[in-house]
Structure 1
Amino acid sequence: MGCPKNSILYNGTHCACPAGYLLNRAANSCAVFSVRSQIETDSGIDYYAATFPETFFSFDTIKKFTQSQAVFLEATLVLLLSWLFFCLFLRFMKLGDGRGIWFRIRWWVSRLDVCFATRHWLDDQKLVIKRKTELGGTFSIASWILFTGLFAALLYQVISKRTIEVHNVRATNAPDLASFSNDMELKLITVSSMSCSNLRMPTTFVSGSSGFIDPKVTPLSSFLNYSCQNTSVGPAITFRCNNCRLSQDYMFVSWQFVDLPNNPAAAVGFQFNITAKDHANRRHVSFVSGTLKNGSDLDDRPVTFRGVDGNILVFNLFPRMYRNLHDLRLIQPLFHDFVPGSVLYDTSQLRASLESSNDGLINMTLYTLN
């Protein structure tokens, strides 16, 4: 089988895509990886999943209501139905000689008509006209109940937006950090022609205080679960931590991709997605995701990552408390920095690296700061 289109030769007979190019297996051709580096972050205050029948109505705004706003609307509905039921009940009561309690109540309902037959106030002595406005009084009060309830819900929404909902917890406050219990997941795709067979996973991770004085080495399985899955754009490594507890330590974990016969260790970029959900309240999710192609926004040239120098992805984990959401405690992951390791820009550099046994790997490091 011949080499893919636009590929280069190394060691006389082996094929590889040029620097910054990715193999398209379906077309058997090397194409430049032209996706721009970008980062997307979400704060976690939106609902994680829809719970309303959007087929019939648009409930985008209703889903954003807080529980307090729901109480306003529920109270309005209960009051409105109670008033209508009361007026319907009065219609079935006997008037008698016009002096009974039910007649007086219906008479006062008729006087409450301030929206429809308003001229009855000018005919105060005409009882028949007053009785004709009884239905108007019913709907006048119903309209005011509905208006007041909706206005109160809207006013609460305006006021709540002007208040501070999010409170960042200082990382030095150990008791507060211990109260955060989140389920976290990191998915990192190494954009390449490699597979999970190239992967050499670590068995430990390292943690320590600022400056890494007396670092601690812990078995990875006691803190994280990990897996690898082959995708159309490269191997996807997933780290999961259930019921994670924040600490004041810095943590990092490293792994490698190595050369295999006819499958060298080389990548053109990285795609990541970190999510955090409260262990008890899983309706809300914070995440940060993005694509990294180069170490500088000013230099967005296609490159190939390969060599002994490590590629370091640095993330911050900010504990946040949402006062207006029942003191929801949610970790907000944020992208901090990407430090590229061995980077190759042109074909000559890549060919020399592919023909060197010392460069047959990609070193990766995940680094978190609290």
Structure 2
Amino acid sequence: MASCPANSFNFNTTLCACTPGHVLQHVRNTCVLYEGNSTILTDSGVDYYALSFPETLFAFDTIKKFTQSQAVFLEVTLVMLLSWLLFCVFLRCTKLGDGRNVWFKIRWWISRLDICFATRHWLDDQKVVTKRKTELGGAFSMASWILFIGLFAVLLYQIISKRSIEVHNVRATNGPELASFINDMEFNITTVSSMSCANLRNLGNIVTGNPGFIDQRVVPLSTLANYSCYNSSMGPTIALKCKNCKVIYDHMYISWQFVDLPNSPAIAVGFEFRLTSMDIAKKHVSFVSGTLKNGSDFDDSPVTFRGNQSNIVKFNLFPRIYHNLHELKLIQPLFHEFIPGSVLRDTNELRASLESSTDGLVNTTLFINFLSDYVVEIDKQNILGPVSFLADLGGLYCISIGIFFYLLIQVYFLHTDCMLYSGLG
């Protein structure tokens, strides 16, 4: 009997296999539990920002990722405020010397920034002896302005970002209109296992229409997309790529199998997928990705996929027209359902399956449903008119001014009476 690694068992006396839900790590030669995240991620490929500028005047797309929320404005304001105050504290700790070094000059100019507390600097300079407040007034004056501008930007962003709403309209469509949806599409699905592409069989055809009905057709997969298989760290990955793809079929079925090979049985513990769609300008990419481990809603115990019944992964393709983005036409892929095929949960069942000549395969079917009856139109509509916007902007200005003066009062009471004497002439 062969000596097997941890979390594995013997079959056919001399061979080893991992227990259900475990996959072999070749580097460590041990079977580990597959714990893939089952969260399904979906992205429409279109980011909405109510604040927009003409591209010829301002490249807003290049920096919009840095202004995704008003929290960014608050963070920038806080960083600038703390940086300014720390700089002023640092200057207070420097030596004045003879009053001619660079640090003294910087402190002198900061004192000239005092526009709130001691505002007669320029008149006092005409006197033989000048007596004025220290640079604390300039420091707190600039701190107040930084805080005022930051809060004003936050409130302004909040008003502008809520001026419009996204409106979806679903309407019936026809074949010629759907033919105008030309996207680059790519599908990758990894069968999580210790198998390789050498186990792959029967990938090369696509079934369209409804199986068993008069509209069923079997055509070569190469007429729709380029396909390949490559070995990854998680297992063999099936890649389907279609450039300038026109989706002309409502229902598409693509099937393949992994079969037993000597010392490489056909077993899998899950599937990882990613389906993407990109517009012809290559500016927007919509996708759906996720991990499939167990199709049961009542039992999340580890399982192993092996047997004749096919594991069916269903996707829907939604055609979308974005009128607010220069009539962008983008197909949105969405995960619909996973129907597990032959599933083994017990070690004895898996051992019996591995020793059977009829169960030596992992069947997988990709089902794509193109919702060709309807198209989703997306646009933006303003919920505030010009008068309402200006009224809100005026209210915003009054609030910000109030905050500003409140801060000035607080700073005034914190202001010290420290003096700095400087002799002139």
How does the TM-score come out when normalised to structure 1?
0.69
Q: Deviations over 1:175-202 (max 9, x none)?
A: 2211100100001000000011111142
Q: Deviations over 1:96-153 (max 9, x none)?
A: xxxxxxxxxxxxxxxxxxxx9xxxxxxxxxxxxxxxxxxxxxxxxxxxxxxxx99998
Give, in whole Å, the separation in 2 of the partners of 1:218 and 1:53.
42
Shift of 1:18: 0.8
Corresponding residue of 2:360: 360
Matches within 5 A, 1:189-228: 189-208=190-209, 212-228=213-229
Corresponding residue of 2:182: 181
RMSD in angstroms over aligned alpha carbons?
Answer: 3.1
Corresponding residue of 1:317: 317
Corresponding residue of 1:107: none
Contact 1:168/1:320 (CA < 8 Å) preserved in 2? no
Corresponding residue of 1:339: 339
* Cα pair distance change 1:243/1:176, threshold 3 Å: same
Query: Which of 57, 65, 73 is 1:60 aligned to?
Result: 65
Letter in 2 for 1:38: T
Give, in whole Å, the separation in 1 of the partners of 2:358 and 2:22.
22
Shift of 1:232: 1.1
Matches within 5 A, 1:265-280: 265-279=266-280
Shift of 1:173: 2.3
**Structure 2 portions without partners, runs of 5+:** 49-58, 70-115, 117-152, 371-425
Matches within 5 A, 1:226-241: 226-241=227-242
Q: Secondary structure at the match of 2:296?
A: coil
Q: Deviations over 1:260-310 (max 9, x none)?
A: 00000000000000000012x211110000000011233211100000111
Shift of 1:26: 1.8
Give, in whole Å, the separation in 2 of the partners of 1:344 and 1:318.
35
1:158 aligns with 2:159: no
Give, in whole Å, the separation in 1 of the partners of 2:155 and 2:184.
38
Q: Secondary structure at the match of 2:40?
A: strand
Letter in 2 for 1:213: I
Matches within 5 A, 1:248-327: 248-279=249-280, 281-327=281-327
* Cα pair distance change 1:150/1:219, threshold 3 Å: same
Contact 1:187/1:239 (CA < 8 Å) preserved in 2? yes
* Cα pair distance change 1:329/1:151, threshold 3 Å: farther
* Cα pair distance change 1:60/1:36, threshold 3 Å: closer
Q: Secondary structure at the match of 1:60?
A: helix
Give, in whole Å, the separation in 1 of the partners of 2:163 and 2:272.
39
Q: Deviations over 1:223-278 (max 9, x none)?
A: 11111111111111110111111235211110000000000000000000000001
Q: Secondary structure at the match of 1:359?
A: coil
236-245 vs 247-256, which moves further? 247-256
Corresponding residue of 1:27: 28
Q: Secondary structure at the match of 1:197?
A: helix
* Cα pair distance change 1:186/1:16, threshold 3 Å: same
How does the TM-score come out when normalised to structure 2?
0.60
* Cα pair distance change 1:183/1:169, threshold 3 Å: farther
Q: Number of residue pairs matched?
A: 280
Letter in 2 for 1:28: N
Letter in 2 for 1:252: Y
Q: Secondary structure at the match of 1:298?
A: coil
Give, in whole Å, the separation in 2 of the partners of 1:254 and 1:53.
41
* Cα pair distance change 1:351/1:245, threshold 3 Å: same
Contact 2:195/2:266 (CA < 8 Å) preserved in 1? yes
Shift of 1:3: 2.5
* Cα pair distance change 1:238/1:248, threshold 3 Å: closer
Contact 2:37/2:290 (CA < 8 Å) preserved in 1? no
Q: Secondary structure at the match of 2:350?
A: helix
Overall identity of the aligned pairs, in %: 54
Shift of 1:214: 2.8
Give, in whole Å, the separation in 1 of the partners of 2:211 and 2:196.
36
